[in-house]
Amino acid sequence: MHAHDLPTPALLVDADAFAHNMATMSEAWPGPRLRPHVKAFKSTTLARELSAAGHAGFCCATVREMTGMAAAGLGADLLLANEVLDPARLAQLGRLVADGTARVTVAVDSPETVVAAAHAGIHDVLVDVNVGLPRCGCDPVDAPRLADQARAAGLEVRGVMGYEGHLMGVDDRDRRAAGLAVAMEVLAAAHAEVGGAVVSGGGTGTWDLNRSITELQAGSYTLMDTAYDRLGLPFRRALSVLGTVVSVNRAGWAVADVGLKALAMDHGDPSIDGATVWFCSDEHVTWAPTDTPLPRVGDKVRVWPAHVDPTVAKHELLHLIDAGGDVLDVWPVDLRGW
């Protein structure tokens, strides 16, 4: 089948770009040094490609991702790099531990998350340290006390994690590097007091700058988006949303069926090659060609999303295509939900 025969909107993954991204990252962060973040692609089939490339450990953001990975036989070393308190969901992770389906580690950043993990029958934790992003992660001064509490509750403290998400989108590489040095100093100091073998952090935007960690938590590099593409990273845009031109106005604009419900917009408008995107509405993207003629109704158009993770989460299938647009494989987005 050719991509142009797919019902639209449809997620496309350029096979060459994906293979290039995987190889580039695996060369710099081989084997267990890379812990790919499943939240970017939410597909066990894609995760299996990374596992085959030597990366047996994964990061997840939701319990659904953890259980789905375990059910797919990809549970060798799963890190829930996020704080979860729901006892019913955590109990699902406890069951994975009890029946040996997965090695489960969860991030903790408060006495409450320590207690919740211990009650659920989880054995392994990382102390999540705030390194500058105003999100999860304990105050660095609290990290040793939290580690003591976890050990007193019978948990194994494998080390620390700290996600420098406030730096991922900083355009200027020197400023990104300077911010990273500060953030990783905080993480290293916490690690010195907490102990354990693991120092987990980083992401696509700091992939070649962050050298003080034992493992990199990167996900977007696999598929990429226009926001990361702006940073001049060596990864190629692999993910697009294929649309059909549903209306053309001879005053100079065209409309395709790729709107807000098929695209995440939190990082801005999507891009269309050779065109200026005017705006998106629920079911539509409106754009004006800049250096090509107006398309015709029924033509296909590739829309490049600005933020990969939440775009993928809106779809059920990833279509792997070759350079000619033939569909090579269809990968279910089977890790959606919580």
Report the nearest approach of ligand PLP to the CB of residue 94 (Å). 22
Asked whether position 25 contacts ligand PLP by CB under 6 A, the answer is no
Binding to ligand PLP, residues 67-86 (CB under 6 A): 81
Binding to ligand PLP, residues 112-141 (CB under 6 A): none
CA distance 84 to 127: 13
Nearest by Cα to 127 from 86, 89, 77, 161? 161
Report the nearest approach of ligand PLP to the CB of residue 324 (Å). 29
CA distance 46 to 140: 35
Report the nearest approach of ligand PLP to the CB of residue 250 (Å). 41
The pair of three-digit structure tokens given for residue 248, joined into one six-digit string: 């053309």
Burial pattern 255-279, b for ≥16 Cβ within 10 A else e, equals bbbbbeebbbbebebbbbeebebee
Closer of 40 and 78 to ligand PLP (Cβ): 40
Asked whether position 29 contacts ligand PLP by CB under 6 A, the answer is no
Asked whether position 163 contacts ligand PLP by CB under 6 A, the answer is yes
Binding to ligand PLP, residues 268-287 (CB under 6 A): none
Asked whether position 325 contacts ligand PLP by CB under 6 A, the answer is no
How many H helices and E strands in the chain? 9, 15
Asked whether position 218 contacts ligand PLP by CB under 6 A, the answer is yes
| Segment interacting with ligand PLP, rule: CB under 6 A, options 67-75, 113-121, 212-220, 244-252 | 212-220
Burial pattern 137-172, b for ≥16 Cβ within 10 A else e, equals bbebebbeebbebbeeeebebbbbbbbbbebbebee
- In the three-class reduction of DSSP (H, G, I as helix; E, B as strand; rest coil), residue 14 is classed as strand
CA distance 166 to 190: 19
Asked whether position 17 contacts ligand PLP by CB under 6 A, the answer is no
Q: Are 280 and 9 in contact (CB under 8 A)?
A: no
Closer of 106 and 301 to ligand PLP (Cβ): 106
Closer of 37 and 89 to ligand PLP (Cβ): 37
Report the nearest approach of ligand PLP to the CB of residue 205 (Å). 6
Closer of 215 and 257 to ligand PLP (Cβ): 215
Closer of 44 and 217 to ligand PLP (Cβ): 217
CA distance 126 to 158: 6
CA distance 197 to 302: 44
Report the nearest approach of ligand PLP to the CB of residue 291 (Å). 31
Report the nearest approach of ligand PLP to the CB of residue 202 (Å). 7
Extended beta strands in the chain, E state? 10-14, 57-60, 77-80, 104-108, 124-128, 156-162, 198-201, 215-216, 239-249, 253-256, 275-281, 284-289, 300-303, 317-321, 327-332
Which of 140, 162, 219, 243 touches ligand PLP (CB under 6 A)? Answer: 219
Asked whether position 203 contacts ligand PLP by CB under 6 A, the answer is yes
- DSSP labels, 195-222: --SEEEE--GGGTTT--SSSEE---GGG
Asked whether position 204 contacts ligand PLP by CB under 6 A, the answer is yes
Report the nearest approach of ligand PLP to the CB of residue 38 (Å). 10
Which residue is nearest to ligand PLP, using beta carbons?
Answer: 203
Which of 47, 60, 155, 168 touches ligand PLP (CB under 6 A)? Answer: 168
Asked whether position 162 contacts ligand PLP by CB under 6 A, the answer is no
- In the three-class reduction of DSSP (H, G, I as helix; E, B as strand; rest coil), residue 228 is classed as helix
The pair of three-digit structure tokens given for residue 101, joined into one six-digit string: 């389906």
| Segment interacting with ligand PLP, rule: CB under 6 A, options 90-98, 119-127, 200-208, 321-329 | 200-208
- Contact residues toward ligand PLP (CB under 6 A) are 37, 40, 59, 81, 163, 165, 168, 203-205, 217-221
